[in-house]
Amino acid sequence: MLRAEPMLKFRIIAPSEYEDRIVEALIRVGMVEIMRSEEVELAIPRELLLIANRRVELSKVDVDRVVSLINKLSGEATEFIRRGEALRSEIRKLERVRDALRVLAKLGLRTDSLGQHGFIFIIGGIIKKEYEEQISKRLHELRVAFNITELNERELLILISGLLRQQELVEKTLEELPFERLEMPQGLDPDPLKSFASVNYELQRLREELAELVSELVTQLKEASEREKTERLALYDNFLELYSKYRELVLKIVNLMKEEGLEVPNNAVLALERKVVAERIEDEGLVRIIKKYSEMISELSLRFEKLTSTLKTLKNVKERVQVGEIGKEVDAHLKKVLHDLEELAREAGNVLYTLTKYEPYIKALRYTKESILRLRIFRKHYVSIVSGWVPAEYAKTLELTVKKLVPRIIGLGIGQPTHEEVVPIQVKERGILKWLNPIIFGRDIPSYWEVDPTPFFITLFLIMYGMMFGDIGLGPLVICLGLIIYKMNRPLLGIPPDNLKTVGILMVLSGISSICFGLLYGVVFLRSFSEPILLSPLHDIFGIIKVALYFGVVQLMVALILNIVNSIIERDVYEIFLSGKGLAGLIYYISGVHIAMILAKTGFNWSSLLEGSNIIVTMIALSCMGIVILGPLYNFFSQKEDIGSCLSRGMTEFLEMLIAYPANSLSYIRLAAFAIAHEAFGLLADSLAMTIGTIPSSIIANLLVLGIEGFAAGIQAIRLVYYEFSTKFLRGGGAIFKPIKYEVFE
């Protein structure tokens, strides 16, 4: 009950030809919110994004994988494929040379060692590991020397040496074997170590060139997706604009017909009232409709203007000419004009009826397509991707509806959100909470990962308002004013009607709380009328201060407990146990309250804290201080945070705990101050009575209290809830769940 309704994240991937089916499924379910902030990057392979943004070490990039992805995503852009393949070939060739140089350096050979030297020759080459045994056997038969060294995971470097007279036979034999001769690039330094450095530099340059190619491709994919989206949205906007023009025209025609006492065509009435069965339409059909009816709207509008002008002229003439042939001729013209008006109404009404059939669907498309990602993959194929949120109770309905309406689904996933995501919360729209939610949202929108603060906010506000403004007589007046404001349909002091309803309901509840505390105080219209059930604030000042402070202590303890609960939900060990608002802070606060009570009783005798059982409480408070100061070191060991920032955070929390907690507690004295001031206004009325009479003085005093204190008490109650209370636990930063059925159709 105190947690947000469970919300799940969904993602649907399907071929783009079924995009409209996805939209239809989402519309049918209704209770889904489409993520409007996602980017095309979600549909691009992560490897390419990391390379494009230079967030990966280029030397560790799998070149074959990258070029393969470039080939798949390039589509008709063959230039990307050509450049990618060329770079892969160059990189692979240089990687072999680099590895060969490493082996030569290890063997103590120079790059110019390969070739003929006096009476001997040296040949270098590369072979696959699986052919090592076969090639070794043949070389043994030729009676030549050879050395085989591992080059990389798949290949070996083989160096063959023999007499010059054996070279021709060796080379002929190697041509028959899976042997690839090692060719060193021109201009290499004979020293393999120096050559190794220059080859490495060239490899880095080629990989940087490959990364630049990936960046160009990613940019092109984003631009193509955005261009596609823009074109489609423009199509929907054109339709909706055309629909608005026809609706405006038909509305004018219908109003004129009603003035003339003519019967309005049924299709026009149904279209204006939106009592039309909605239908789907493909983009091609939409283009045809826009083209056809765009040409008609100007003609129909012109006909209406001419008919309106003619009708007005004929009516003026008829007023002057009542009888005779001219009068009959005017009547005949009027009849024809009205007939033409009826004909125009039928034509325009039929068009509007047709457009109205598609308007809800196009409106939904306009809303959803803005967030649907379209990406070209595997050359000529497009996929559409839509992600969003769905309440857990509707998840199965969404899954079944998508499977039923979309013929081919590439991917459909519905799962739990992560703590890093901003999950929308489903606002309770029923009953009184519908109007009280804005009070909470005025502070901040609660996070999905925390306790719903609404019941605490409202309950505490009403209790504090009643404590400050307890009066059996003025409470009903506050209720009446609240009802009047609730019923207002026009803005008041710049406040819109919906917000006035919130104010009105809050005033009604505050009035009820005022009556309840008026009974406890025994106060009616600022005067004591009976023995108080609880106490009389004016006659028991220390008593009401004590009640206010106790109430503040309990309220702050509830806030700290809520913070612990929220931290448990977030699985934040530090916040649960070690922070100034966690368990350590709560124990410190309880100990501190106990210490304050001891000091108050002993006349601030500090030595009393070291006597008897008091020392235990003192040691607990001091221990909690130490825990809060050193607590952030937990993040240093578990999350490798900077030790300086950890200690700084600990000192900040310690100082806040040391200064803010007492200050927050003392803030609640204002509850007592307002309760005392309320009754004190009764003394003001008594003083005025000697001058202007009892009744006038009582009326003036009560009106002043109702207008000034009634408002001020509400402000103070809100302040205590917003700052002293909510700052201890409210995370905020949440978002409100906006389902498609409300965003589009309401």
Say if 14 falls within a structural domain.
Answer: yes
Average of pLDDT values for 611-628? 89
Say if 533 falls within a structural domain.
Answer: yes
Range of 9-13, 24-28, 372-376, 419-423 with top mean pLDDT = 9-13
- With b for 16 or more beta-carbon neighbours within 10 A and e for fewer, the 306-320 pattern comes to ebeebbeebeeeeee
Number of domains composing the chain = 4
Round to the nearest angstrom and report the end-to-end CA distance of the chain: 28
- Supply the pLDDT for residue 290: 92
**Do 539 and 688 fall within a single domain?**
yes
Min mean pLDDT across 403-412, 686-695, 724-733 is at: 686-695
Average pLDDT along the chain: 86
The pLDDT tens digits for 65-83 are 888 888 877 766 678 888 8
Residue 37 has pLDDT above 50, yes or no: no
Q: With the CA atoms of 655, 657, 658 and 660 taken in that order, what torsion angle do they form, in degrees rounded to the nearest 10?
A: 100
The pLDDT tens digits for 546-599 are 999 999 999 999 999 999 999 998 888 989 998 999 999 999 999 999 999 988
- Supply the pLDDT for residue 322: 57
Last residue of a domain, one of 164, 183, 202: 183
Average of pLDDT values for 721-728? 92
Residue 324 has pLDDT above 60, yes or no: no
The percent of residues in the chain predicted with pLDDT above 90, rounded, is 33
Rounded CA-CA distance 686/683 in Å is 5
- Supply the pLDDT for residue 178: 87
**Do 238 and 135 fall within a single domain?**
no
Q: Which of 580, 570, 555, 576 is nearest to 450 (CA)?
A: 570
Find the largest Cα–Cα distance for the chain. Answer: 139
Average of pLDDT values for 461-468? 95
**Do 300 and 269 fall within a single domain?**
yes
Say if 68 falls within a structural domain.
Answer: no
**Do 308 and 263 fall within a single domain?**
yes
Q: In CATH, what number is assigned to the domain containing residue 138?
A: 3.30.70.100
- Quick count: other Cβ atoms within 10 Å of Cβ 608? 17
Say if 572 falls within a structural domain.
Answer: yes
- Supply the pLDDT for residue 39: 44
The pLDDT tens digits for 205-243 are 998 998 898 888 888 877 777 777 778 788 888 999 999
Q: 389, 416 in Cβ contact below 8 A?
A: no
- DSSP-derived secondary structure letter, 131: G
- Supply the pLDDT for residue 429: 61
**Do 499 and 567 fall within a single domain?**
yes
The pLDDT tens digits for 174-188 are 888 888 888 888 778
Q: How confident is the model at residue 276 (pLDDT cuts 50, 70, 90)?
A: confident
Say if 275 falls within a structural domain.
Answer: yes
Say if 219 falls within a structural domain.
Answer: no
Q: In CATH, what number is assigned to the domain containing residue 387?
A: 3.30.70.120
**Do 292 and 232 fall within a single domain?**
yes
Q: Which of 593, 596, 567 is nearest to 579 (CA)?
A: 567
- Supply the pLDDT for residue 76: 62
Say if 463 falls within a structural domain.
Answer: yes
Q: How confident is the model at residue 19 (pLDDT cuts 50, 70, 90)?
A: confident
**Do 282 and 388 fall within a single domain?**
no
The token duo for 62 is 């799998």
**Do 384 and 344 fall within a single domain?**
no
Residue 263 has pLDDT above 60, yes or no: yes
Rounded CA-CA distance 380/500 in Å is 56
Amino acid occupying residue 27: I
Q: How confident is the model at residue 675 (pLDDT cuts 50, 70, 90)?
A: very high
**Do 173 and 123 fall within a single domain?**
yes
The pLDDT tens digits for 329-369 are 777 888 888 889 999 999 999 999 999 998 888 887 777 76
**Do 641 and 724 fall within a single domain?**
yes
Residue 607 has pLDDT above 60, yes or no: yes
**Do 335 and 390 fall within a single domain?**
no
- Supply the pLDDT for residue 744: 66
Kind of pairing between the strands at 735-736 and 424-425: parallel
- Supply the pLDDT for residue 41: 44
Say if 499 falls within a structural domain.
Answer: yes
**Do 336 and 398 fall within a single domain?**
no
Domain that holds residue 521: 450-577+626-730
Q: How confident is the model at residue 379 (pLDDT cuts 50, 70, 90)?
A: very low
**pTM for the predicted model, two decimal places:** 0.67
Rounded CA-CA distance 515/474 in Å is 8
Q: Which residue has the higher pLDDT, 188 or 46?
A: 188
Contacts of 502 (CB under 8 A, 6+ apart): 435, 436, 438, 439
Residue 612 has pLDDT above 70, yes or no: yes
Contacts of 526 (CB under 8 A, 6+ apart): 471, 473, 474, 678, 679, 681, 682, 685, 698, 701, 702, 705
Last residue of a domain, one of 323, 341, 369: 369
- Tell me, rounded to whole angstroms, the distance of Cα 696 from its chain centroid: 58
Q: DSSP per residue over 419-464, as a string?
A: TTS--EE----STTHHHHHHHHHTT-PPPTTS---HHHHHHHHHHH
Q: In CATH, what number is assigned to the domain containing residue 289?
A: 1.20.1460
Residue 327 has pLDDT above 70, yes or no: no
Residue 392 has pLDDT above 90, yes or no: yes
Min mean pLDDT across 366-370, 538-542, 659-663, 697-701 is at: 366-370
The percent of residues in the chain predicted with pLDDT above 70, rounded, is 95
